[in-house]
């Protein structure tokens, strides 16, 4: 006897179509219910991942700040050598 493969459900609308449920609930209550259903499926990052991502973002912000500052100083120096400032 051959087993049937399970159906992969990507979202709630696919699940409704597979179960035959109609789309009569399309108001704000259904939206909130589907939102909570989707949030249960989210893979939330662990504390270590959040710390790593935050550190990477702060380092990139600092590097970009230094880059903009250096560019500003360089342009000011060039303009002062030309005599425009």
Per-residue pLDDT tens for 27-60? 999 999 999 999 999 999 999 999 999 999 999 9
Q: Does residue 3 form part of some domain?
A: no
Q: Quick check: helix, strand or coil at residue 85?
A: coil
Structural domains of the chain, count = 1
Q: Does residue 7 form part of some domain?
A: no
Q: Does residue 6 form part of some domain?
A: no
pTM, entire model:
0.53
Taking the CB of residue 34, how many other CB atoms lie within 10 A of it? 17
Q: Does residue 4 form part of some domain?
A: no
For residue 26, the model assigns a pLDDT of 82
Q: Does residue 71 form part of some domain?
A: yes
Q: Is the C-alpha dihedral spanning 75, 76, 82, 85 positive or negative?
A: positive
For residue 65, the model assigns a pLDDT of 98
Q: Does residue 70 form part of some domain?
A: yes
> What pLDDT band is residue 19 in, cutting at 50, 70 and 90?
low
For residue 17, the model assigns a pLDDT of 59
Tell me the per-residue pLDDT of 51-84, one tens digit each, with 9 for 90 and over.
Answer: 999 999 999 999 999 999 999 999 999 999 998 8
């Amino acid at each position: 006897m051959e087993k049937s493969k399970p159906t992969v459900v990507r979202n709630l609308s696919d699940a409704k179509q597979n179960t035959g449920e109609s789309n009569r609930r399309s108001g704000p209550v259904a939206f909130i219910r589907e939102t909570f259903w989707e949030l249960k499926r989210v893979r939330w990052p662990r504390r270590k991942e959040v710390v790593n991502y935050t550190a990477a973002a702060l380092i990139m912000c600092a590097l970009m700040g230094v880059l903009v500052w250096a560019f500003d100083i360089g342009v000011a120096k060039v303009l002062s050598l030309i005599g425009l400032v």
